[in-house]
A and B are shown apart, each in its own frame.
Chain A
Amino acid sequence: MKRAAVLGLVIAVALFAASCRPQKAEVAAPPADRHVPYNYAGTQGMVVAAHPLAAQAGLDMLKSGGNAVDAAVATAFALNAAEPFASGIGGGGFMVIHLAASKKTTVVNFREKAPAAAAPAMFRDKGEAQAEWRQERGTAVGVPGMLAGWAYALGKYGTKSLAQAAARAIEIAETGFPVSATFSQINKDEYEKLLKNAGEATSYLNGGIPYEPGDVFKNPELAATLKRIVRDGIDVFYKGDIAPKIVAAVRAKDGIMTLEDLSAYRPVEVDPLQGTYKGYTIFAAPPPAVGGLHIFQLLNVAERWPVKDWGHNSPAYIHHMSEAMRFIFADKEHYDGDPDFVGLPLSRLLAKEYAGLVRDKIRADRTAAAYGFGVFDPVRDKKENTTHVGVVDKDGNIVALTQSINDFFGTGIVPEGTGFLLNDHMADFATDPASPNAPRPNRRPVSNMGPLIMFKDGRPVLTLGSPGGTRIFPSLAQILINIIDFGMPLDAAIEAPRFFSYSVNGKVRDLSVEPRIPEPTLAALKALGHTIALKEPYDKYFGGAQGIMILRDKNKLIGGADSRRDGVGAGY
């Protein structure tokens, strides 16, 4: 009798607690199999990010009255604590911001810069060892822009303080969380680098060994660093006590960064790049983030193809798209560079007429013998591995933020006692000293990031972005075509099997595919001349896209988050 009374009381308390929780817009819980497409739903606000704690940090910021920029920065800070292998204050990124009231779309570029001592042949001269110098030595570290970018965006477009934005990140770093299978696998993959550069005692290893799923990861040193930054402002990072620690760590590993490089760093605000596809207008971060540029090129080429008739991931569709990717890679190789220093023929590359010329080179029955870059008249236009966050707030403000420390765990270099990882974004410079993207003093390396916001009839309908290096633009273009041409719901479009190909010096490279694409399709592609490289069924190689669809007529926000990583949505 006593037991029955206690049980009744417990049930009553549980029911009361449940009734006090905010009502979820969608009743169904995410499926146990994380690869099954699942659309997160909300009506007032939505955050999508690559870790549940980070998405929750953004959602809590929205609920506490913060706008989309506040929430994006809170999410970004939280990712440093919860997904430290992909981004953090030792890196950089690009933030596309749409302000509903003014209908203005703008971009904050906080990409890392090369130190002043960078030289065009600095990596080529290392010969066969250059991969290590580009990715794991001090020379790999670009001057970090992340904090400067977050603070700029928050100061100009946000409503909350740096302390409020960083609060949840500090909490996560202090209290810790059980690591996921994704975290554990990446930790194991990068173990050698971490042992070499961060050492056995680093918090990025668990007693000198990679974390297993379920192990609790804490980072008290990062928490202390973030507290310092909140207390003293970001100058403590660029000019104060933290700066010499960064320089010492970089130079101890044969790097070239100086205190002057750090103190001179500034983010810049620029206009977005604009493209169109089948009646939609898309705004993306402009070069040196070239993801948007190449998404537009690929969509321009695909626009006149009967992709719907060919069928999703049919041999004809994959063949034509792969060939287009290879031609675009020829342009990428030839033209991409920091627009502050090199002229990019943007209007020519983005012209629909140029897309027609590329289409004309693509044969339906075979792969091309060579992939040449577009040749334009000599007058050039005047200067006109990563994680992604998307936020929409109740007022319709939108942020698409892609940020990175490049390879997972960056260089693996942690400035002493700081708990944050330094990027290896110098690896994004070209090897060839004659390339427009060769390392030079104070230049920003070309980035493959492509955070974007898509509009229909002047109204935003989608924000999207992804990590994934050179696979970013092909993956985002495939997701957009999945939605626009094949009518897929957002998360189905994100989870659908992906493919990727490229060219180097005009020569064809493998067609990489997720093996969920059926064998008869792969056989047909082989018959057309493609060499198939099978990846994992849901491979991080193809990125980890996050998106939010804005269904204004239904007063609904739909979040889609990629199961190739630990992506989730959080809406209300």
Chain B
Amino acid sequence: MKHTHSVLLITLLGLLAISFAAAQTPQAAFEQPLLVTSAGQSSGDAQIALQLAKRAGLAATLSKSGTGKDLENQKTLVLVLGASMKGLGAAGLDSNKEKERVRELVAEAKKKAIPILAMHLGGGARRGELTDEIINEFLPSAKAAIILKSANADGIFSKLCQSKAIPLVEVEKSLDAVEPLKKFFAK
């Protein structure tokens, strides 16, 4: 009898958690087409975001070093947060130049009233001083965020999103981000 009660309680809590997560995914918050770019030149992560968007059936374009001009005809800016020294080197950028590029891009998006969806797909391994600077500076400009749970072990995303009332979706694996993406872009 006791056992049955426990199972029921766990099931109920589970259902509550799922409905809470579903409620956190706003409906039709973003529109297509979307421009995917990196903030920090973790170009592999940006490529993953593009693939996930395609799997969600979205019209997406990748520009690793996107500028304001790339926002022409776009309705959403996907900012993939995460610094890569290798990526910065390959792009011929230092961290200051990269942050300046992203600042200008975000400013242009705001000017054009294009909402920003922040993503962090590198997990715990893609954290560090520069990545944290990028998260702290650019995450507050986002209308929503999707991240790998392992990147939020210290609660950096939770704290920032909570303070700015930004809906945050945590997923275990990159592929799990496809469903939240579908919901974000659902008509």
Interface residues of chain A, those whose CB is within 8 Å of chain B, are 181-182, 184-185, 187-192, 195, 207-210, 212-213, 215, 515, 534-537, 539, 541
Top 5 closest A-B pairs, CB basis?
A191-B44, A185-B125, A188-B44, A181-B125, A212-B173
Which residues of chain B come closer than 8 Å to A190, judged between CB atoms? Answer: 44
- A197 to chain B minimum Cβ distance, whole angstroms, is 13
CB interface residues, B 146-184, toward A, < 8 Å: 148, 150, 172-175
Q: A212–B128 Cα gap in the complex (Å)?
A: 18
Q: Are B121 and A536 in contact (CB under 8 A)?
A: no
Q: A98–B121 Cα gap in the complex (Å)?
A: 46
CB contact between A184 and one of B47, B87, B125, B172 (< 8 Å): that residue: B125
CB interface residues, B 69-87, toward A, < 8 Å: 84-87
Q: A181–B148 Cα gap in the complex (Å)?
A: 13
Q: Are B48 and A210 in contact (CB under 8 A)?
A: yes
Which residues of chain B come closer than 8 Å to A191, judged between CB atoms? Answer: 44, 47-48
Q: How many A-B residue pairs have CB under 8 A?
A: 62
What residue in chain B is nearest A207 (Cβ atoms)? Answer: B175
Q: Are A181 and B123 in contact (CB under 8 A)?
A: yes
Q: Does B124 contact A (CB under 8 A)?
A: yes
- Residues 99-138 of B, flagged 1 when their CB comes within 8 A of A and 0 if not, give 0000000000000000000000111111011000000000
Q: Are B173 and A188 in contact (CB under 8 A)?
A: no
Which residues of chain A come closer than 8 Å to B52, judged between CB atoms? Answer: 209
Q: A359–B85 Cα gap in the complex (Å)?
A: 32
Which residues of chain B come closer than 8 Å to A188, judged between CB atoms? Answer: 42, 44-45, 48, 121-122, 126
Which residues of chain A come closer than 8 Å to B42, judged between CB atoms? Answer: 188-189
Can you list 9 contacts pairing A with B, beta carbon distance less than 8 Å? A188-B42, A188-B44, A189-B44, A192-B43, A207-B175, A210-B44, A212-B172, A213-B150, A536-B85
Q: Does B65 contact A (CB under 8 A)?
A: no
Which of B87, B125, B126, B128 has the most C-beta atoms of chain A within 10 angstroms of its own C-beta?
B125
Having A182-B125, A185-B126, one finds 6 other A-B pairs with CB under 8 Å, namely A184-B123, A188-B48, A188-B122, A191-B44, A191-B47, A209-B174
Interface residues of chain B, those whose CB is within 8 Å of chain A, are 42-45, 47-48, 51-52, 84-87, 121-126, 128-129, 148, 150, 172-175
A209-B174, A535-B85, A536-B128 known; A195+B47 contact, CB < 8 A:
yes
Q: A195–B50 Cα gap in the complex (Å)?
A: 12
Q: Are B51 and A181 in contact (CB under 8 A)?
A: no
Q: Are A192 and B44 in contact (CB under 8 A)?
A: yes
Q: Are A213 and B123 in contact (CB under 8 A)?
A: yes
Which residues of chain A come closer than 8 Å to B123, judged between CB atoms? Answer: 181, 184-185, 212-213
What residue in chain B is nearest A196 (Cβ atoms)? Answer: B47
- A228 to chain B minimum Cβ distance, whole angstroms, is 32
Q: A45–B62 Cα gap in the complex (Å)?
A: 51
Q: Are B129 and A189 in contact (CB under 8 A)?
A: no
A209-B48, A213-B150 known; A539+B125 contact, CB < 8 A:
no
- B20 to chain A minimum Cβ distance, whole angstroms, is 24
Q: A473–B85 Cα gap in the complex (Å)?
A: 21
Q: A182–B122 Cα gap in the complex (Å)?
A: 11
- B80 to chain A minimum Cβ distance, whole angstroms, is 11
Q: A50–B53 Cα gap in the complex (Å)?
A: 35
A192-B43, A536-B128 known; A208+B150 contact, CB < 8 A:
no
Which residues of chain B come closer than 8 Å to A184, judged between CB atoms? Answer: 123, 125
- A510 to chain B minimum Cβ distance, whole angstroms, is 9
Which residues of chain A come closer than 8 Å to B129, judged between CB atoms? Answer: 515, 534
Q: Are B175 and A209 in contact (CB under 8 A)?
A: yes
What residue in chain B is nearest A535 (Cβ atoms)? Answer: B85
Q: A79–B159 Cα gap in the complex (Å)?
A: 41
Which residues of chain B come closer than 8 Å to A209, judged between CB atoms? Answer: 48, 51-52, 174-175
Q: A213–B126 Cα gap in the complex (Å)?
A: 12
A207-B175, A536-B128 known; A185+B122 contact, CB < 8 A:
yes
- B92 to chain A minimum Cβ distance, whole angstroms, is 11
Q: Are A189 and B84 in contact (CB under 8 A)?
A: yes
